[in-house]
Amino acid sequence: MNRSDRQQGARYALRIVMWVLSEWNWALDWAPDLEYALWTAVIDGAPVKDYPLVGNVEVLALRLLALEAGGWFWMPAGENDEEQFLEADDWQDKYVSWLRGQASEAGAAYVNQE
C-alpha cells in the first residue's frame, strides 16, 4: 500500500469516525460546529466537554487519522450538506478564523450584559 492509498483510507476513516461520534452524541449526522469541537479536543488532547461519548481513545484516534489524512473535514454553512476535506494548512486557517469569531461573540455577549 502506497502513501496515497493510506492517505485516502485515513480520510475515509476520519470522515466516518467524525460522523459516528456526532450520531452517538447528538443523533445528528453532523452536529453544529462538530469539526471545531473535535479539533479542539485533538489539540488539547482531552475529551470534548459537550460530547460525553468522546473520550481519550476517540481523541487519540482522531489525532492519528488527521495526521495520516493530512487534514480535517468541515461542513460548509448553508451549502450542500456535504462534508468537505481541507488540507492541514487550510483547515488551520479556518479553525483560527472560527476561534476569532468565538472570541468576538463572547466579547459582545459580555458587553451586552453590562
Query: What is the model's pTM?
Result: 0.85
pLDDT digits (tens, 9 = 90+) for 21-59: 999 888 878 888 899 999 999 999 888 878 888 999 999
- Please state, as a whole number, how many other Cβ atoms lie within 10 Å of the Cβ of residue 26: 15
Is residue 110 very low, low, confident or very high in pLDDT (cuts 50, 70, 90)?
very low
Which amino acid is located at 37 in the chain? A
CA 110 → CA 7, 44, 99, 105, distances in Å? Answer: 43, 25, 17, 9
Domain segments of the chain as ranges = 3-113
